[in-house]
Structure 1
Amino acid sequence: MFDKLLQAQQIAGDIKKRLDNLSVTGEAEGGKIRVTATGNKQVTAVAIDPDFFASADREELEELLAVAINKALEQAENISQAETQAATREMFGGMF
């Protein structure tokens, strides 16, 4: 039982490392706002097209930024779930 616990901890650490090295991007307004995050849901970059930034009002910019962030985090969550499911199947030999 202790071996399985150690194996699970090792697998969790491996998954975290892989997710730290994966990047996902969420976009809004046709790519004029782009948010990049890791597979562990850490936002690493925000890019706003300068022309769009100059012409957008604050409320529009805030709303679209939230949309882009949520899209990036949703992609990160999907990747995280897929990695975890794959590791679980591997660890338990297809029982799940």
Structure 2
Amino acid sequence: MMQQAQQVGQGMKAMQEELRNKRVKGTAGAGLVEAICTGHGELVSITIDPQLIADGDKDLIEELIPQAVNDAQAKGKELHQEMMQSVTSGLNVPGLDQALSQFGQ
């Protein structure tokens, strides 16, 4: 049991580093705005289609940016959950799957 705990701890540390280095992309407005976040959900960059800027639709731009960021962050949470399940697979801990499904919500 102690060895399993150590393996999970090492797996979690590696997973955190991998999430820090992974990038997920969220989009809004059919790709007019793209947001890139880390696997931890930290915003890395925003790209706005030049035509959208040229059109000068400030309200639309302000609406699409948070949508793209939220989309990227949601994808980061999904990635985090998938990786967490991978790290803890094989552990026979009652209720662990249920607890992990609630993680990050």
| Contiguous gaps of at least 5 residues in structure 2 | 98-105
Query: What is the count of residue pairs matched by the alignment?
Result: 95
Partner of 2:84: 84
TM-score of the aligned structures, taking structure 2 as reference length: 0.76
Aligned counterparts, 1:1-96, within 5 A: 3-90=3-90, 92=91
Amino acid of the structure 2 residue aligned with 1:33: V
Contact map agreement 2:41 2:73 (CA 8 A) in 1: yes
Runs of 4+ in structure 1 over 4 Å off: 1-5, 93-96
Amino acid of the structure 1 residue aligned with 2:20: D
| Contiguous gaps of at least 5 residues in structure 1 | none
TM-score of the aligned structures, taking structure 1 as reference length: 0.83
Amino acid of the structure 2 residue aligned with 1:40: H
Q: Deviations over 1:56-95 (max 9, x none)?
A: 43322111111100100010000000000111104x1698
Q: Deviations over 1:1-20 (max 9, x none)?
A: 65544433322111011112
Q: Percent identity?
A: 26
Q: Distance in 2 between matches of 1:82 and 1:45?
A: 24
Q: Distance in 2 between matches of 1:24 and 1:2?
A: 34
Q: Distance in 1 between matches of 2:11 and 2:92?
A: 14
